[in-house]
Every structure is written in C-alpha cells, then in structure tokens.
Amino acid sequence: MNILIADSGATKTDWLYYDGHEFIQVRTQGLHPANIKEPEDSMDIDDQIGHLRPERVMFFGTGLGNPISDEIIRRFLGNIFSSAIIEIHTDLEGSSRAFFGDGDGVVAVLGTGSISAKIENGSVAKKSASLGFAIGDEGSAADLGRRLLQIYYRGTDSDEVVEFIGDQLGNPDYGDMMNRIYTLSKPNRELAAVAGRVLTKPYPKEMNHIIQGAFSDFVTKQLSTLNLKGEERIVFTGKVAEVHSELLKKVMKKHGYENVEIIYPVITAWRERLKRG
C-alpha cells in the first residue's frame, strides 16, 4: 500500500511517501488547524505534494486530538487526496509510534511549542499540559523568543547580551515589534522566529543561561507532571532540542535524567520503521 506520513508542527510539516520500494520526503509549511487559511494553504500544499498518489494518509500534528480540529485537517487533506484513507492523530501519537513502536518511554517535544508525554505499550498514557505560547510552552522556540524580547526591551541582562539581541533583530522599534506580535494571526511563529534569529551560533556564551533556564522550566513545569522514576528512556524531538542538544542534556542530567536522546526530525524514525516493515 502506498502510504504518506506527515509530522506537522506550527512552523513546518515533514511528509514521507513510501510505495514499498522508494521514499519521497518533502517539507512544507506547518498545518496547525487553528492557523490554516483557505484556499491559499490548500493550493500551496497541493502544488508541493498533490502529485503523490497515496492510498493511506497518516497525519500526525500539533493542535489535534479533538473533533473540531481533527475534522478541519481531515477535510483539508480530503480536498487534496480524495481517494485516500485518511487518519488523523496528535503529534505525540506520531512521535510515540515512531520512536517506541509498541514499547514504553517518554516523548518530549521542543519546537515552536513544547509538550511531553509518558508512553506505555506504544500509546500516550499521560501528557503534560503545554498551555500554548501565551501561558506555557516552556523551553520552546516561542518561549525563548518571549524571554529574549523581555531582556531586550527591559534591559535585564548584561549590556553585551542586550546589544547582541538588538543587533541580531535589527534594533526593532518597540511599537513595531508589539504590533507584529499582537496583531499577526500567528504570533507563536513570530516569537519563534525571534529565537531563531538571535540564537543562531555563534552567540555569546553568556546567553546559555537563558536557554538553560527555559529548559529547566520545561522540566519542572511539564516533565515533572508525568511522575517519572528517572530511568525511563526519554526521546526529545523538535528544532530547539536539536540545535541546543548539548545544553539540553546538561540540564536534564542536572535534574536527574541521563537516559536522554535527541531524534529530529521525527520523520527519520518513521523512515527506519518502514524500512524494517
């Protein structure tokens, strides 16, 4: 059976097509159900992957897991792949199946947003409440962007750090930045973009404490709610986890977690799983 698997976050979607012999991998924009704009997004996605002919589409994405959001994505994909069987699942379900199959472990996502889940027998047994960029999402790109802007406009770090943030962002006017954050339809992406521009290496080592602080908050405010014993296999995924893997492992070790891996993107794990059959 020709299959198309999607791992979608707020910023990007990785697609993996497999016909039993060859793989085709494509990256497109993120497809969060709350942010989809029609008909522009349908046309964009159709242009990039509409030529594929899957018999089955497995879509794993953020913002899913409730009837309304799931139906938005189901209809969206149905317009592109009208003859395919379409399955809709959360991003955590996708990560757990890709990383652990029918086994046990912990999935932690640090991308535009953040979340974690305890996996038992291949299913999500318990997950943290991420609460989104406005309230939570500790350790995510959006969270890092928020912390950097607070430092820049309030001047709450060293002159070197404040100046570096300003230089990387082009010394943005306060009013213009607030307008961009609070009036755009996708403010989480805007905040994540701030983190991406500022925390691209090389940056002053003095700024590591900002990243470590965000990771520590993720552990204490999200991961800790899973009531872990400490020896569980924890697999992190997401761009933030990949880029700052060394700092992440350092923070995790400090909190007593040493069985930690970073696998990004998730679609690479799906590829290996499909190869094994």
User: How far is Cα 41 from Cα 178, in angstroms, rounded to an integer?
Assistant: 26
Closest CA to 196 of 244, 135, 249: 244
The neighbouring-strand residues paired with 120 are 123
Contact of 111 with 240, CB cutoff 8 Å: yes
Contact of 170 with 176, CB cutoff 8 Å: no
DSSP string, 170-204: T---HHHHHHHHHHSS-HHHHHHHHHHHHSSSS--
pLDDT higher than 90, residue 170:
yes
| pLDDT, tens digit, 9 for 90 and up, residues 59-77 | 999 889 899 999 999 999 9
| pLDDT, tens digit, 9 for 90 and up, residues 188-239 | 889 999 999 999 889 999 999 999 999 999 999 999 999 999 899 999 999 9
| pLDDT, tens digit, 9 for 90 and up, residues 238-250 | 999 999 999 999 9
pLDDT higher than 80, residue 143:
yes
pLDDT computed for residue 149 by the predictor: 97
**Could you give the C-alpha distances from 266 to 66, 165, 182, in angstroms and in order?**
22, 30, 31
Q: What is the CATH number of domain 3-95+268-276?
A: 3.30.420.40
pLDDT computed for residue 34 by the predictor: 85
The neighbouring-strand residues paired with 6 are 15, 59
Pairing between β-strand 123-127 and β-strand 260-262 as defined by DSSP bridges: unpaired
| pLDDT, tens digit, 9 for 90 and up, residues 129-140 | 888 888 889 999
pLDDT computed for residue 134 by the predictor: 85
Backbone phi, then psi, for 182, in 5-degree steps?
-95, -5
- pTM of the model as a whole: 0.85
Work out the pLDDT band at 39, boundaries 50, 70, 90. confident
Prior bond of 265 cis (ω within 30°)? yes
pLDDT computed for residue 182 by the predictor: 86
Mean pLDDT of the chain: 93
Of 88-92, 171-175, 183-187, 242-246, the least confident: 183-187
- State whether residue 276 is helix, strand or coil: helix
pLDDT computed for residue 28 by the predictor: 94
List Cβ neighbours of 268 (8 Å cut-off, separation of 6 or more): none
Closest CA to 8 of 57, 43, 66: 57
Q: Which two tokens stand for residue 104?
A: 């046990």
List Cβ neighbours of 266 (8 Å cut-off, separation of 6 or more): 7, 14, 60, 91, 94, 95, 98, 99, 237
- What are the domain boundaries of the chain? 3-95+268-276
How far is C-alpha 238 from the chain's CA centre?
Answer: 5
Any idea what DSSP says for residue 273? H
pLDDT higher than 90, residue 91:
no
Q: Which two tokens stand for residue 88?
A: 């809709």
Work out the pLDDT band at 161, boundaries 50, 70, 90. very high
pLDDT computed for residue 274 by the predictor: 87
Residue 105 zone, left/alpha/beta (φ > 0; ψ -120 to 50; rest): left
Any idea what DSSP says for residue 51? T
User: How far is Cα 237 from Cα 189, in angstroms, rounded to an integer?
Assistant: 18
Look up tokens 């038992």; give the residue: 120
Pairing between β-strand 260-262 and β-strand 234-237 as defined by DSSP bridges: parallel
pLDDT computed for residue 109 by the predictor: 93
Work out the pLDDT band at 11, boundaries 50, 70, 90. confident
Work out the pLDDT band at 36, boundaries 50, 70, 90. confident
